[in-house]
Amino acid sequence: AKGVSSWAMGRIKSGRYNFLLYLSFLAFISLGLPDGLLGIAWPSMSGSFGQALSRLALLQVAMTSGFFLSSTNTARLIRRLGVGRLLVLSNTLVATALLLYVLAEHWYLVVFASVLLGTGGGAVDAGLNTYSAEHFSKEQLTLLHAFYGFGAMLGPAIMRFILIREMPWQRAYFFTFLLIFGLLIIFFLFRRSWDDPGRRWDEADPLESRAAPAAPGAEGPSVFSRRGVGIPLFFFYTGFEVTVGAWSFSLLSVGRGFDPGITALWVGGYWTALTGGRIFFGFVGRRWSSTGIIAAMQLLLSFGSLLLLQPWWSIGAFIALPIIGFSCAPLFPLFVTLTPHVVGKESAGRFIGLQVAAASIGAAAVPALVGLLVEFSSLEAVVMVLLALSLLIIAIYRHWLQAASRID
């Protein structure tokens, strides 16, 4: 009887664990949906409010200010509210922001909505990344980020559907609001399910590691320490990923004169490849080492950036977008999964919170820098920044990874 009872309890815990994983998938869809909209909507949106294309940087800064505020306080919010209630609160903010995009008649309301959107997204991103690094395997974490890509992939598809029918861009934000509102209802109904933490990180299949947990008194999370280099790594990588999504449509349609409908389709291909790559590595990633996957994808990232830069082969610029998307696919989730092995499990939550906060700053600062360069030069500045970032990411990652051998 005792054996049967233990078996039953194990099945219940396993079922709860899987259910929380599925809820996490839905949460990352809600995180990605608005991100995929803005890059396609921006040329139309900027015309509606009489803003220059370079003012996209202001919206990125507004989103990041909210994102940074919530992501740096996520640990405190989780202690006070719990993960389930935090998801409800954050998605309420996201839904409110999307509705403001639909109804706004003045530019300042769009900026305010962007702050709300970033605040809601930051809580989901930092909270679930920290939770997932502790409770899910690296393959599951990669799949989790695939659902972010799925949400981001839906954004351009919705916006393209609206624009080719010559409907106002606000329509796409309203459809997205309805989807987020549906997810909000789900999170509200199951907000108490997160009270049982489920499986712990060290019970999942761990990443191969050269590092032991950090000893008491080990160096803190300073960006100047070798282990702290993971913080600027997230800054530059996320800046790269967001810059591709936010500026590639303007680069190819406005800067190089390609058909907007075809361009939107290929930008959607970027998000599709990002999502498909995460699904691919989520299912078959166990066949290769995580460090091997990262090294190969970083090389592919540089190749895709070069292909986007060259001006002689026009179709090559389009092909570059899904190549870049696929190469980006496993990087962020594997960086997160690698963090406990580089910094020690006891310090992982603190470092991941700082890394996600740095990622939020990079998501605004790098596209903002691109906006300034575009304003003072041309849209071709976009691809120059992307190539430089792809090489910088490789250099920073290699330096960060060496910290694992220094914690032994």
Helix, strand, or coil here: 50? coil
Cα 355 to its chain centre, rounded Å, is 12
Of 108-112, 170-174, 324-328, 342-346, minimum mean pLDDT range? 342-346
Q: What is the pLDDT of residues 45-85, one digit of tens each?
A: 888 888 887 787 788 788 878 888 887 777 677 778 887 88
Percent of the chain topping pLDDT 90 = 19
Cα 276 to its chain centre, rounded Å, is 15
pLDDT of 218: 43
pLDDT of 67: 81
pLDDT of 138: 74
Q: Per-residue confidence at 333, pLDDT binned at 50, 70, 90?
A: confident
Q: Per-residue confidence at 223, pLDDT binned at 50, 70, 90?
A: very low
**Mean of pLDDT values over 175-194:** 86
Distance CA 87, CA 96 (A): 14
Burial class (CB in 10 A: 0-12, 13-18, 19+), 266: buried
Give the sign of the dihedral formed by CA 86, CA 91, CA 94, CA 99: negative
Which contacts (CB < 8 Å, 24+ apart) does range 19-25 have? 19/190, 19/193, 20/135, 20/193, 20/194, 20/198, 21/136, 21/140, 21/144, 23/87, 23/186, 23/187, 23/190, 23/193, 23/194, 24/128, 24/131, 24/132, 24/136, 24/144, 24/147, 25/143, 25/144, 25/147
pLDDT of 403: 63
The three-state DSSP-derived secondary structure of 176-236 is HHHHHHHHHHHHHHCHHHHHCCCCCHHHCCCCCCCCCCCCCCCCCCCCCCCHHHHHHHHHH
**Mean of pLDDT values over 386-407:** 82
CA distances from 408 to 334, 348, 351, 405 (A): 21, 16, 18, 6
* Position with higher pLDDT, 239 vs 142: 239
